[in-house]
Chains A and B, each alone.
Chain A
Amino acid sequence: MELLRHAARVAWKDLRIELRSREIVYTMVFFGALLVVIYSFAFPNDARAIRGSVPGMLWVSLAFTGTIGLGRAFDRERENDTMRALLLAPVPRLAVFLGKAFATTVLVLTVAVVCTPLLALFLQAPLFAYPVPLILVVILGAVGIAVIGSVFAATLLKVRSRDVLLPVILYPLLVPLFVAGTSCTAALVAEIPNFDAAWYWIQFLGIYDAAFLVLSIWVFESLVIE
C-alpha cells in the first residue's frame, strides 16, 4: 500500500541518518550498559535476589534508554524544522507516524540486544534459557514504547519543557507495559518457569500494543496539527 511505502521511506530516512552518525545508537547503548553495571553494584550478590530483580533491571533499562532515544530521534526533526516538511508532504500524516515509530522500535531493540546479554553475563542470570518467548516479549515491549512514545514526542516537539514532559506523560501510560514485561520475564527466569503466566503476559502485551496502535492511528494527526 501507498501508506506503507511512504512510512518505509520515512523510516529508512531515519535509519539511514542514524547509521551514518550513529549518535543515538552509541549513546543509548552505552547508557544501557552503564545502567547494567550500576545494577550489578547496587544489588547484593545473592542468586535468588538477583533472579528476582533481573526482569526489573532489563525493563527499567529499556524504559530509560527508550525515552532518551525517542527524545533524540524527534529532536532531530526540530533542527531545520524538518518535521514541518514531513507534515507538509502529500503523504498521509499517518505515514510519518508509522515511519518514526518503526525507526524508534529498531533503536530500542538495538539497546535490548546489547543489554540483555550484558545482564545475563554480569549477573549470571538465565535470561536466555527460553529465548523465543523472551525475544517476543521484548519486541512487543519495544513496539509499545515506540508507538505511544512517538505520538507524544511528535506532539511535544515545539514545547519548551518537552524533555521533562515526555517522561511525565509516557511513564504512567506505559506502566501496564512494564508490568507485563517484567512479569513475563520473571516467569521465564524463575527456578520453575511458568509458561502459562509468560504466555498470558505476552498476549496481554499484544493486545495492549494493538489497542494503542489503533488509538494512535486515530489521534496522531489531530494531536500533531496545531
Chain B
Amino acid sequence: MKKIAVPLFATLAAIGIAVSVYQVFYVAPLEYSYNEAGKFNGSSLFFNQKIFYFHVGHAFWLFGAVFVSGISSIGFLITRDPRWDDVASASTDVAVAFGAVVLVTGSIWGKAAWDVWWQWEPRLTMSLLLWLVLVGYVLVRKFAGPSADRIAAGMAIFGMVGVPFIYKMVGQSSHPAAGSQGVVATLPPGERGPFWIAVASFLCWYLALVISRVQSTRAEREVRELRERGLDLGVLQ
C-alpha cells in the first residue's frame, strides 16, 4: 500500500486536473450577466471566473490541511512519536503552498470582479490569516532549534482552535461582498460538476504531496538511525 500511495494519488491528481481543465474551459458555462434592457452587461467576469475553480479547490484543502496539522500535532504532543510530527509538518508545508495559490488566485479574481488587487472580504481575509499562522509554523520549525517540533505543534493546535474565531470575525466586520457563505450551494447547475471534480483533483494532489513528503522524512530518519547504529557498533567512523 505504502509504495503505491504516492504514484496512485499523483496519477489521480494529474488525471483529475487535466479533466478539470477541460471541464472548466469547455463544459462549465461562461459567466456573464445581462442588465434589465436585455443588453449584455460589460463588467462581468468571463474567463476570469474560471479561476474560481482553482481558487476554491485549493482553499478547501488549505482549511483541510490546517485541521490535519492541528490534529496530528495533538497526536504528537500526546505520544511524542515523530511520525505524527512528520504528518503535521508535511501538511503545513503543503498548506503554505496551497495558501499562496489561494491568495494569488483570489487576488486575480478580485481584480477582475472588483477592480482592486486586494479586498478585505471575508474569505480572502480568513485565508490570509490562516496562511500567516502556517508560515509562522514553518518559521518556528526552521529557527527554534532542537525543540522546534514541540513548539510548532503547539502553534498548530492554537491555530486550529483559532479558526472558528477568525471565521466569526470576518463574517461580522467586513461587508458581505461577492463571496458569501452560500456560494457553493448557489452555484448554477452547469458549474457544479466541474467544481467538485476540481475539488477532488486537488485533494489527490494534496495527498500525493503530503504522503511523498512524509515518506521522504521517514526515509531520512531511517538513514540517520542506521548511521547511528553503525557508529555505535564501531562499524562506521
Contacts and interface: CB of A to CB of B under 8 A. Distances in A.
The short answer to whether A and B are in direct contact, CB under 8 Å, is yes
Interface of A: 148, 151-152, 155-156, 158-161, 165, 168-169, 172-173, 175-176, 179-180, 183, 200, 204, 207-208, 211-212, 215, 219, 222-223, 226
B159 A172 contact: yes
A134 to B, nearest CB: 19
A169 B145 contact: no
Contact of B144 (A156, A172, A207, A223): A156
B177 interface: no
Contact of B158 (A180, A200, A212, A222): A212
Contacts of A148: 158
Contact of A226 (B129, B150, B169): B150
Given A161-B145, A179-B173, A215-B157, 12 more contacts: A148-B158, A155-B150, A159-B145, A159-B147, A160-B145, A172-B132, A175-B166, A176-B165, A200-B172, A204-B172, A212-B158, A223-B150
A148 B136 CA distance: 15
A41 to B, nearest CB: 27
A189 B140 CA distance: 38
Nearest to B161: A215
B78 to A, nearest CB: 8
Nearest to B133: A172
B166 A176 contact: yes
Contact of A212 (B144, B155, B161, B166): B161
Contacts of B26: none
Interface string B151-162: 101110111011
B229 interface: no
Interface centre among B129, B136, B165 (most CB of A within 10 A): B165
B145 A219 contact: no
A148 B61 CA distance: 27
B133 to A, nearest CB: 4
Contact of A155 (B129, B132, B139, B151): B151
B59 to A, nearest CB: 18
Given A211-B161, A215-B161, A223 B136 contact: no
Given A172-B129, A172-B136, A222-B77, A161 B154 contact: no
Please list the 5 inter-chain residue pairs (A to B) with the smallest Cβ-Cβ separation, ordered nearest first: A176-B165, A172-B132, A172-B133, A222-B77, A223-B154
Nearest to B162: A173
